């Protein structure tokens, strides 16, 4: 399915119109939740991009953290504009991802997952250990706001951030969708299914995996950078392995094998657990319970719910016809 045909689907323009109209009737709290949801959707969708090539990452927090810290430090220490710092933070993560990828992606399966987790923990330890430049355990604060010509006060409004993050999310999602449906994406799928076959067909598996890791890391870092500038303060705890666990849960509940899975998973779970943010234990129990129920009854995630319901009704209908004919 091409992007043009995707946009032509009726429900997508409707959702976009609803999202555009939201700031004109919703309060600041709803806008804040929406902004965090959009950022988390980017986290989750970029994590899934790694999964397309068969690489289950437990270190996605590393790229998000690198983007956040790099963009924040460029603004704080060098005085660079937000509009310059944000892409530079993404490029910093991309460079590190290429180095890490070439060093580790020859390792397969769960072994690479463990390596990615270890790298994420190393990055958190670095942020915590060094007061200069990372601020130690306390992190960084007073991250400067972006500047907008002619409307300097606009950057302090939730409406500015809402539309900025919404546009960023839509652009990244379109890029990831186009990538997945391209020849590059189909090659990644082949690698995930049978990398030996891919090699026999002349595919440089390592190069493909490294490029895919670099792309997903770049977009994840961009989301991390915009998060840092939105909240104006970050610490190592924000980017620990718990962030990865949440990302994995969102993707699994939504349906990690489908492009829409992370989007649905993040949206549903953010709405269901929003009132429990201050009660971490209850929120964790609820997330765990939802994950278990989905894996038992919807192993393909919430994205498969319409198909499951249709199958259930078809089965009931077929049973009713059989009972009528036998009578």
Entry pTM? 0.90
Q: Are residues 234 and 140 in contact, defined by beta-carbon separation less than 8 angstroms?
A: yes
Percent of the chain with pLDDT over 70: 89
Alpha carbon 210 to chain centroid, angstroms: 18
What does the block give as tokens for 284?
């964790």
pLDDT at 98: 97
Domain ranges (residues) in the chain = 20-239, 253-327
- The string of pLDDT tens digits covering residues 207-256 is 999 999 999 999 999 999 999 999 999 999 999 999 999 999 999 999 98
Q: Confidence class of residue 1 from pLDDT cuts 50, 70 and 90?
A: very low
Q: Are residues 289 and 279 in contact, defined by beta-carbon separation less than 8 angstroms?
A: no
Mean pLDDT of the chain: 88
Which residues are registered as beta bridge partners of 140?
234
Of 169, 303, 289, nearest to 227 (Cα)? 169
């Amino acid at each position: 399915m091409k992007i043009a045909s995707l946009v032509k689907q009726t429900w997508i323009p409707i959702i976009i119109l609803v999202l555009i109209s939201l700031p004109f009737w919703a309060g600041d709290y709803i806008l804040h939740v929406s902004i965090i949801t959009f950022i988390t959707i980017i986290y989750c969708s970029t994590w899934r991009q790694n999964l397309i090539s068969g690489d289950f990452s437990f270190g996605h927090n590393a790229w998000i953290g690198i983007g956040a810290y790099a963009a924040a430090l460029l603004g704080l220490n060098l005085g660079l504009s937000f509009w310059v710092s944000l892409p530079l933070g993404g490029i910093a993560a991309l460079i590190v991802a290429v180095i890490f990828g070439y060093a580790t992606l020859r390792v397969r399966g769960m072994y690479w997952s463990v390596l990615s987790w270890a790298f994420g923990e190393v990055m958190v330890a670095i942020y915590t250990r060094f007061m200069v430049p990372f601020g130690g355990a306390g992190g960084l604060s007073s991250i400067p706001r972006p500047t907008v010509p002619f409307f300097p006060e606009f950057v302090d409004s939730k409406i500015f951030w809402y539309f900025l993050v919404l546009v960023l999310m839509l652009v990244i999602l379109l890029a990831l969708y186009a990538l997945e449906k391209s020849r590059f994406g189909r090659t990644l799928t082949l690698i995930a299914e049978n990398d030996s076959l891919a090699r026999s067909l002349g595919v440089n598996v390592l190069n493909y995996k490294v490029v895919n890791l670099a792309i997903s890391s770049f977009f994840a870092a961009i989301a991390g950078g915009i998060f840092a500038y939105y909240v104006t303060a970050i610490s190592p705890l924000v980017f620990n392995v718990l962030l990865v666990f949440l990302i994995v849960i969102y993707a699994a509940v939504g349906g990690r094998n489908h492009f829409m899975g992370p989007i649905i998973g993040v949206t549903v779970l953010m709405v269901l657990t929003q009132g429990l943010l201050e009660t971490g234990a209850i929120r964790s129990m609820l997330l765990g319970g939802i994950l278990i129920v989905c894996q038992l009854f919807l192993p393909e995630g919430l994205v498969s719910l319409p198909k499951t319901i249709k199958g259930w009704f078809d089965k009931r209908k077929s049973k009713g016809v059989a009972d009528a004919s036998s009578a």
